[in-house]
A = this chain, B = another copy of it.
Amino acid sequence: MEFHDCTDLIQAILKQSPVQEGIVHIQSTHTTAAVLVNENEPLVLEDMKRILERIAPQSEDYLHNDFTIRTVNMTDREDRNGHSHCKAIFLPVSQMMNVVEGCLDLGRWQRIFLLELDRAKERILSVMVMGS
């Protein structure tokens, strides 16, 4: 698991938009990567990894990982990532944030993260800005 702080990236996208009041929707296009809002304090991110790992441990058996019985959505390079999917259902696949005066209406400690739940790989966020 890895937290990537995307707040500055989203803010930069907002700066390129004429929208002053509205919303921005940041959507992961993946099933094993989440978009999370919380504090960027390195120790609490480690705490979160520990709790998430406990919910759906990588060391457990998952039917999704049993390639002797699985037939659906099989690719040439299939990861044993049942645990990643099972963590993902508890986390937001996308995050909406209010936009005020052209900026993210974030609280003091709020940061936006892409949370990688699988092995490190390239990820795509779909970002939509709407408003006036």
Residues in B whose Cβ lies below 8 Å from that of A38: 31, 85, 88-89, 93
Task: Flag whether A14 is at the interface (Cβ < 8 A).
Answer: no
B88/A27 in contact, CB under 8 A: no
Residues of A within 8 A of B (CB): 21-23, 25, 27-31, 36-44, 46-48, 51-52, 55-56, 62-64, 66, 69-70, 72-73, 82, 85-86, 88-100, 105-110, 124, 126-128, 130-131
List 30 A-B pairs, Cβ < 8 Å: A25-B98, A27-B96, A28-B107, A29-B106, A29-B107, A30-B107, A30-B109, A31-B109, A36-B89, A37-B94, A38-B88, A40-B72, A40-B73, A43-B64, A44-B62, A44-B85, A46-B63, A47-B82, A47-B85, A47-B86, A48-B86, A51-B55, A89-B91, A93-B95, A94-B96, A94-B97, A96-B96, A99-B128, A100-B126, A130-B130
